[in-house]
């Protein structure tokens, strides 16, 4: 078993399910902490502030600092800041994406925007969508925090940010640039923050189509755990396999 200097970890389905932690994952993270091995949580949830994500993990008994969290909103703001060609943003989204953009000194505007950024917005209105569509028709660049078309709720699967983005793509005739998993950009930003080499970092997740593909596209080894979305039967249909698979993180103990 190869030793790794750092780990990137998905959250829902990997570390917890809803509001219940996965005990094997909790023991695994404790092993990382005790071994002094760097790790970071990587999530497509653009609504959360890193402080909120850390608060939930702490509440579940997983000691976490906000600096150990990379959301798709944070990765989107970092991507735009690195490009240095946008100043004003028309944003659809919640606190997570708005605060990430403000942290990088972007102006949030209602018109004449350099770029439209779309994140999940559970208070979406027709006017918000119409405004974004008009800005895109005027030539604003188009970015989406993540392509998740649906996400689980207490009531079942509900529309995700990918659904909002597709609506705007259809209405405007423009295609969005996605940043979250399975795109590699969010992984690249997490590696920059954590400071580990990609050849010595393992991406861990439960969803082949997001977590594992993102790790593969960023050049990382990957570990798929069968504690969430992708079952063994479903995995068998894919041509390219993860580097490793495990029924749970109990089968993968980190080596310092």
Catalytic residues: 10, 12
H-helix or E-strand containing 178?
strand 177-178
| Sole residue written with tokens 């027709």 | 126
Percentages (nearest 5) of helix, strand, coil residues in the chain: 40, 20, 40
The angle at the Cα of 213, spanning 186 to 115, to the nearest 5 degrees, equals 35
Name the 3-class secondary structure at 163.
helix
H-helix or E-strand containing 116?
strand 115-118
Half-sphere exposure of 92 (CA within 13 A, CB side): 32
Choose among 210, 220, 197, 189: nearest CA to 79: 189
**Cα–Cα distance, 135 to 150 (Å, whole number):** 25
Alpha helices (H) in 69-119, listed in sequence order: 72-83, 95-103
| Residue 204, beta-bridge partner list | 9, 223
Q: Cβ distance 164 to 121 under 8 Å?
A: yes
């Amino acid at each position: 078993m190869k030793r790794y200097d750092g780990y990137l970890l998905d959250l829902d389905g990997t570390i917890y399910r809803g509001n219940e932690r996965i005990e094997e994952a909790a023991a695994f993270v404790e092993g990382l902490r005790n071994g002094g091995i760097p790790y970071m949580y990587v999530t497509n949830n653009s609504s959360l502030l890193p402080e909120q994500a850390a608060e939930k993990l702490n509440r579940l008994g997983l000691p976490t600092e906000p600096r150990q969290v990379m959301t798709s909103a944070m990765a989107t703001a970092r991507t735009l800041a690195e490009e240095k060609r946008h100043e004003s943003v028309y944003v659809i989204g919640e606190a997570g994406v708005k605060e990430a953009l403000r942290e990088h000194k972007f102006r949030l505007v209602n018109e004449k925007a350099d770029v439209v950024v779309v994140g999940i917005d559970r208070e979406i209105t027709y006017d918000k969508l119409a405004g974004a569509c008009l800005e895109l028709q005027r030539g604003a660049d188009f970015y989406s925090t993540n392509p998740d078309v649906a996400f689980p709720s207490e009531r079942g699967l509900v529309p995700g940010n990918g659904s909002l983005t597709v609506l705007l793509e259809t209405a405007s005739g423009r295609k969005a640039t996605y940043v979250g998993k399975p795109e590699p950009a969010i992984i690249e930003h997490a590696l920059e923050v954590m400071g580990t080499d990609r050849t010595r970092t393992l991406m861990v997740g439960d969803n082949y189509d997001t977590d594992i593909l993102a790790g593969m596209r960023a050049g990382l080894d990957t570990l798929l755990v069968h504690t969430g979305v992708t079952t063994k039967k479903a995995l068998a249909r894919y041509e390219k396999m993860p580097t490793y698979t495990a029924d749970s993180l109990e089968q993968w103990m980190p080596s310092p």
